[in-house]
Amino acid sequence: MHKLDAVLARLDAAEEEIRARYFDFLRIPSVSAQPAHAADCRRAAEWLARELREIGFTAEIRETAGHPAVVAHHPGPGTSAAPLLYYGHYDVQPAEPFELWTSPPFEPTLAEGRNGPVTVARGAVDDKGQVMTWLAAMRAWHDVAGSPPAPVRVLVEGEEEIGSPSLDAFLEEHAAELRRARAVVVSDTNMWDARTPAISARLRGMAYAQIDLFAASRDLHSGLYGGMALNPLNLLCRIIAQLHDAKGRVMLPGFYDEVPEVGGNLLAAWDSLGFDEARFLGDIGLSVPAGEEGLKPLVRQWARPTCDVNGIWGGYAGPGAKTVIAAEAHAKVSFRLVGDQDPNAVLDALEAFVKERLPADARAEVQRFSSAPPVVVPEDSEEVAAARRALAAEYGREAVLIGSGGSIPVVESFRRILGLDSVLMGFGLDDDQVHSPNEKFDWACLMHGARSHARLLAELAG
Amino acid sequence: MHKLDAVLARLDAAEEEIRARYFDFLRIPSVSAQPAHAADCRRAAEWLARELREIGFTAEIRETAGHPAVVAHHPGPGTSAAPLLYYGHYDVQPAEPFELWTSPPFEPTLAEGRNGPVTVARGAVDDKGQVMTWLAAMRAWHDVAGSPPAPVRVLVEGEEEIGSPSLDAFLEEHAAELRRARAVVVSDTNMWDARTPAISARLRGMAYAQIDLFAASRDLHSGLYGGMALNPLNLLCRIIAQLHDAKGRVMLPGFYDEVPEVGGNLLAAWDSLGFDEARFLGDIGLSVPAGEEGLKPLVRQWARPTCDVNGIWGGYAGPGAKTVIAAEAHAKVSFRLVGDQDPNAVLDALEAFVKERLPADARAEVQRFSSAPPVVVPEDSEEVAAARRALAAEYGREAVLIGSGGSIPVVESFRRILGLDSVLMGFGLDDDQVHSPNEKFDWACLMHGARSHARLLAELAG
């Protein structure tokens, strides 16, 4: 293991260089949801390809129906073993609302956080910072040993934040090439807390749609037409209000049919984690869990489906009073899914639910943006065992097996299309403000993450 | 009456000059709701003062707590009779959404309408075009006779579209000066149809508020927090949905206590007007009246209260999918009122209604923008009789007495503060798209309106 020690020492010595490369990556506003940033997405892909080539990878920009992907290969020390496939995404969420950022979202800034220095920027953790953890590990192996200790493949996509619409087709197109791998390594999840590493064993799925309601042929004066003309904003509120009952349960027919109850050992294991719900909510200024009544906190987060309005707009939103009845109303609505819930079936049910509630003169369109089935990954694979050893060695305590309320659609795609299981070894924290203004990543998380990845490569070299 | 004939002939001859002055007025984007247009509001006031001085008025810009008012006096031919007080407003509604205009809202354009040429511009009818009807009549009297045939006062405000927040204080401040008048003449209402003139005898009141809901201390990731964190957008929809029952009745406690039933002669008179509901709705792409069940159309429009959401916003409204739970949600909600409903009591009830429905962790603010009590004007005054004679002479048919779904707060203020009744003689049409994109005013309505005002001045000269 003296080689690994040299690699870890090299990582510690390279902090400044790692930060410089990381900040270059963060300065690229690769917002996949916004067409205006399409060129920035490509720049981020090209930046990654250059980084990988510098450390001995053959790296290519591969076109997709949407933003390009980066695919890279490194034979390692020349063993014939099947490579590890590292997955990440270079795209980030929109930074809006800009005015709530304490520093510009695409000018990474070092600040003092609860546990020491943190980097504040859009993408600081999700997923550019997490990609940097394994990228830095591979560079350190390159610097010290001339190559990673095992064959490595890399796939970084640019559409994760919009639900990876092009990825399945891309995996199918390149299946022959990508299928030959031991497992997929993904760093896009959280630790249990700043001191306790974690492997995520389950991810909620997602279904996301936009509801567009149309009524009159134009905006109307609320005095001359009030009481006569259908108001699509009131109608939209009425329909959305009916999506939940008084106990917080989602009212789409059959919504809970494929939702398993959590019990026995799993529930006991989750209870033993001692989740501090009061602190979790307190960090965001809340005190009472929303959603369904009478659930244990971790069950609520990891094992129950949800329905949230992510955005709503229509009519006049300017200063003061405008007495108008709008012609259109719009809302973005998403569902988190668990068990065997089928995202497409959920969106079918949503569309039917909306259309059944339309009065005469109203018209509705339901646009579908993205969907991902829920995922449960095997907890007993050789690669998960190796990851747990690497994390235990790095943190001096056992990694816990957790769930995640979020979704990583590609994990299910890797299994379905390539037959590959994933190892979800992530280094984010609950207070990273992912998808929010002032997203941050603890510097300690990045460095320990890089060291953990260096260890994992050594574990899997044999 | 040969003088009146000369004045009418002068009006007909002056069409081009009237249009030129009218278009100058329309080119000033005097949007009272938007602070960026404050200077434009003052420009509109100054434009009016210049116009009035040109035709012998002593005209002044008078400051208010908000946008300035224009007050002008003309002694007429020197009789000692109490003057007529002409009221109007130079401010206009915001023009948003700009992209739906077929021509720029502040570049007045002549187009071909259903009944001949129309002017398309924000304010074309409401209220700049209607102000032009009496302004042109006074100029014609000035050109032909050197002065209007009766003493005239003018008050034009710049805050009607935001609910005249400064006007009551202004009327109280200048009560001694303004109180001495026969009646108030207002042109800010509609004709019955393009061929049938009308006097409006009742106006609905209004109460307008903005609901701001606050939950978490920041925007959240809907995956990590979905099911745990209160979603203020869902909450806002739930509260707004509860504002109406399944029959379209407003659910604020006591809302209908002061709403009188319409029956007897009034109902018979309204029935005799033969309102074409199918055409009224068809013009805006609708077929079924919304709001309360089982009402006659004119009762619905003129004699029943309403509650409409005028705008709603929160969360992500950009392209594509953003999986965020917003920290705030906002809606603008307004009520049209009738009978003895008290706008402040209604807004008190709204605020209580919202706050009673807040779960723990949610906070609400209710901002009040404007309010106006409902108004019924006397139908038998000398001035109303004179207006009916003037309209009958101009149109060759009797003017009908109608209601209006809209509100003109100042009418109630004139009575309460100055003890003056109003004559609501307006020349708009139902299809003028007031407050909407492509607002228009029929050229024939403007010219017949000007001729009618010339006749009214003659009627009241004696």
A96 and A45 share one domain: yes
Residue A278 domain flag: no
Q: How far is A335 from chain B (nearest CA, A)?
A: 9
Residue A270 domain flag: no
Tens of pLDDT, residue by residue over A221-249, are 898 899 999 999 999 999 999 999 999 99
Q: Specify burial of residue B57 (Cβ count, 10 A radius: 0-12, 13-18, 19+).
A: buried
Per DSSP bridges, beta strands B220-221 and B324-325 are antiparallel
d(CA A49, CA A56) in angstroms, rounded, equals: 11
* Residues in A touching B244 (Cβ below 8 Å): 234, 238
| Pick among B284, B334, B354 to test the A interface (most A CBs inside 10 A) | B284
* Residues in B touching A100 (Cβ below 8 Å): 218-219
Q: Mean pLDDT of all residues in chain B?
A: 95
CA dihedral B387→B389→B393→B397, nearest 10 degrees, is: 100
Facing B281 at nearest CB: one of A228, A243, A309: A228
Q: Are A218 and B100 in contact (CB < 8 Å)? A: yes
User: Which residues share a beta bridge with B118?
Assistant: B111, B442
d(CA A458, CA A455) in angstroms, rounded, equals: 5
| Reported confidence tier of residue B173, pLDDT bands at 50, 70, 90 | very high
Q: Are B241 and A244 in contact (CB < 8 Å)? A: no
A409 and A352 share one domain: no
- pLDDT value of residue B408: 82
| Pick among B221, B300, B353 to test the A interface (most A CBs inside 10 A) | B221
CB pairs under 8 A between A and B: 369
Whether A424 has a pLDDT exceeding 80, the answer reads yes
- Average pLDDT of the residues in B181-192: 95
Whether A178 has a pLDDT exceeding 80, the answer reads yes
- pLDDT value of residue A188: 94
Residue B297 domain flag: no
Chain centroid, CA B316 distance in Å: 33
Q: Are B321 and A436 in contact (CB < 8 Å)? A: no
- Average pLDDT of the residues in B193-207: 94
Q: Are A310 and B215 in contact (CB < 8 Å)? A: no
A250 and A347 share one domain: yes
Facing B228 at nearest CB: one of A96, A301, A305: A301
Q: How far is B276 from chain A (nearest CA, A)?
A: 13
Tens of pLDDT, residue by residue over B359-397, are 999 999 999 997 889 998 888 899 999 999 999 999 999
Facing B290 at nearest CB: one of A224, A231, A318: A231
What one-character DSSP code corresponds to residue B303?
A: S
Of all residues in chain A, what percent are helix, strand and coil, respectively (each to 5)? Answer: 35, 25, 40
| Structure-block tokens of residue A82 | 């099947």
Residue B69 domain flag: yes
Helix (H) or strand (E) holding A424: strand A422-425
* Residues in A touching B318 (Cβ below 8 Å): 33-34, 94, 96
Q: Are the CB atoms for A122 and A441 separated by under 8 Å?
A: no
| CA distances from residue A417 to A168, A176, A413, B5, B28 in whole angstroms, order as listed | 7, 10, 6, 88, 63
Give the least confident one: A42-46, A373-377, B153-157.
A373-377
A350 and A405 share one domain: no
| Reported confidence tier of residue B462, pLDDT bands at 50, 70, 90 | low
* Residues in A touching B426 (Cβ below 8 Å): none
Per DSSP bridges, beta strands B205-214 and B328-337 are antiparallel
Amino acid present at B435: H
Amino acid present at B18: I
Give the least confident one: A341-345, A458-462, B399-403.
A458-462
B166 and B252 share one domain: no
The three-state secondary structure class of B201 is strand
Whether B1 has a pLDDT exceeding 80, the answer reads no
Q: How far is A190 from chain B (nearest CA, A)?
A: 10
* Residues in A touching B94 (Cβ below 8 Å): 316, 318, 322
Whether B149 has a pLDDT exceeding 80, the answer reads yes
The three-state secondary structure class of B297 is helix
Facing B216 at nearest CB: one of A217, A285, A324: A285
- pLDDT value of residue B104: 97
B380 and B323 share one domain: no
- Average pLDDT of the residues in A89-110: 96
- What is the percent of chain B where pLDDT is above 90? 87
| Pick among A286, A298, A366, A440 to test the B interface (most B CBs inside 10 A) | A286
- pLDDT value of residue B57: 98
| Reported confidence tier of residue B163, pLDDT bands at 50, 70, 90 | confident
| Structure-block tokens of residue A421 | 């299981």
Q: Are the CB atoms for B86 and B185 separated by under 8 Å?
A: yes
Tens of pLDDT, residue by residue over B304-320, are 999 999 999 999 999 88
- pLDDT value of residue A265: 84
| Structure-block tokens of residue B363 | 């906070």
Whether B217 has a pLDDT exceeding 70, the answer reads yes
Spatial CA neighbour of A371 closest among A333, A421, A415: A333
Q: How many CB atoms lie within 10 A of CB A36?
A: 9
Closest-CA residue of chain B to A240 = B237
Q: Please, which residues have CB within 8 angstroms of residue B380's CB and are 6 or more apart in sequence?
A: none
Identify the domain boundary among A349, A372, A395. Answer: A372
Residue A291 domain flag: no
d(CA A227, CA B347) in angstroms, rounded, equals: 19
Tally the domains of chain B. 2
Residue A148 domain flag: yes
- Average pLDDT of the residues in A168-191: 96
Helix (H) or strand (E) holding B60: strand B58-62
Residue B292 domain flag: no
Closest-CA residue of chain B to A367 = B320
Question: At B370, phi and psi to the nearest 5?
Answer: -170, 155
B74 and B219 share one domain: no
- pLDDT value of residue A101: 97
| Reported confidence tier of residue A92, pLDDT bands at 50, 70, 90 | very high
Q: How far is A204 from chain B (nearest CA, A)?
A: 8
Facing A369 at nearest CB: one of B206, B280, B320: B320
Tens of pLDDT, residue by residue over A372-415, are 899 988 888 999 999 999 999 999 999 999 998 888 888 989 99
A110 and A124 share one domain: yes
Q: Are B221 and A435 in contact (CB < 8 Å)? A: yes
- Average pLDDT of the residues in B312-333: 95
Q: Please, which residues have CB within 8 angstroms of residue A111's CB and are 6 or more apart in sequence?
A: A102, A103, A117, A118, A119, A120, A440
Facing B321 at nearest CB: one of A284, A325, A332: A332
- pLDDT value of residue A79: 77
Tokens 């390149």 correspond to A174
A227 and A132 share one domain: no
Residue B284 domain flag: no
Higher model confidence: residue A79 or residue A28?
A: A28
- Average pLDDT of the residues in B343-347: 97
- Average pLDDT of the residues in B234-259: 97
Identify the domain boundary among B345, B372, B399. Answer: B372
Buried b (16+ CB within 10 A) or exposed e, A137-170: bbbbbbbbbebbbbbbbbbbbbbbbbbbbbbeeb
Facing A315 at nearest CB: one of B230, B312, B434: B312
CATH classification of the domain holding B337: 3.30.70.360
Tens of pLDDT, residue by residue over B22-60, are 999 999 999 999 999 999 999 999 999 999 999 999 999
Tens of pLDDT, residue by residue over A117-162, are 999 999 999 999 999 999 999 999 999 999 999 999 999 999 999 8
What one-character DSSP code corresponds to residue A416?
A: I
A69 and A163 share one domain: yes
Q: Are B227 and A292 in contact (CB < 8 Å)? A: yes
Whether A1 has a pLDDT exceeding 80, the answer reads no
* Residues in A touching B308 (Cβ below 8 Å): 222, 226, 231, 233-234, 325
A58 and A124 share one domain: yes
Residue B408 domain boundaries = 2-203+375-461
- pLDDT value of residue A462: 67
Q: Are B231 and A312 in contact (CB < 8 Å)? A: no
Facing B434 at nearest CB: one of A224, A285, A359: A224
Q: Are the CB atoms for A104 and A29 separated by under 8 Å?
A: no
Instruction: Write down the pTM of the prediction.
Output: 0.82
Per DSSP bridges, beta strands B84-89 and B184-186 are parallel
Identify the domain boundary among A352, A372, A392. Answer: A372
Q: How many helices (H) and strands (E) does chain B have?
A: 15, 18
Omega before residue B97 within 30° of 0, cis: yes
Q: How many residues does chain A have?
A: 462
CATH classification of the domain holding B451: 3.40.630.10
Asked whether this complex has an ipTM greater than 0.85, the answer is no
User: Which residues share a beta bridge with B203?
Assistant: B375, B404
Whether B14 has a pLDDT exceeding 90, the answer reads yes
A166 and A211 share one domain: no
Whether B225 has a pLDDT exceeding 90, the answer reads yes
